[in-house]
Amino acid sequence: MRILSTGCAVVLFAVVGCASSSNAPGKMSNTEKLTLLGGTKIDVADAIKTALDKAPGRVADTELRSKNGKTVWEIDIASPDGKLTEVDVDASTGAIADSE
């Protein structure tokens, strides 16, 4: 019986661990996302236009993030030659904050 109860505890721990991993480091909650969005002045569509002016291609991904104390639209762009470029557009000013 002791083996069975130990096994159940391990299974319970695994289930609880998996359930709590949805808030893993680096993953924002909906509340955090809405808080960031509330502080933006630049729409994602405008940020995409700015990013495409810097690095022409096709948008592969967009994400609203906080970097170095600023809220930025992080735009990943795939160029025609297969290179992926990340362009950060300041969500308050619309200026390019970084490009890599």
d(Cα 58, Cα 85) in Å, to the nearest integer?
10
Q: Are residues 14 and 61 in the same domain?
A: no
Question: By the 8 A CB rule, do 37 and 67 touch?
Answer: no
pLDDT digits (tens, 9 = 90+) for 87-97: 999 999 999 99
The pLDDT of residue 26? 64
The pLDDT of residue 59? 97
Number of domains composing the chain: 2
Enclosing domain of residue 21: 1-27
Q: Are residues 3 and 48 in the same domain?
A: no
Q: Are residues 75 and 47 in the same domain?
A: yes
* Cα–Cα nearest to 39, from 94, 97, 92: 92
Confidence of residue 11 (pLDDT cuts 50, 70, 90): very low
pLDDT digits (tens, 9 = 90+) for 30-82: 998 898 888 899 999 999 999 999 999 999 999 999 998 899 999 999 999 99
pTM: 0.71
- Residue 48 has a CB neighbour count (10 Å cut-off) of 17
The domain that holds 92 is classified in CATH as 3.10.450.40
Q: Are residues 84 and 44 in the same domain?
A: yes
User: The tokens of 96 are what?
Assistant: 């390019």
d(Cα 87, Cα 75) in Å, to the nearest integer?
5
Task: Tell me how long the chain is.
Answer: 100
Kindly state whether residue 80 falls inside one of the protein's structural domains.
Answer: yes
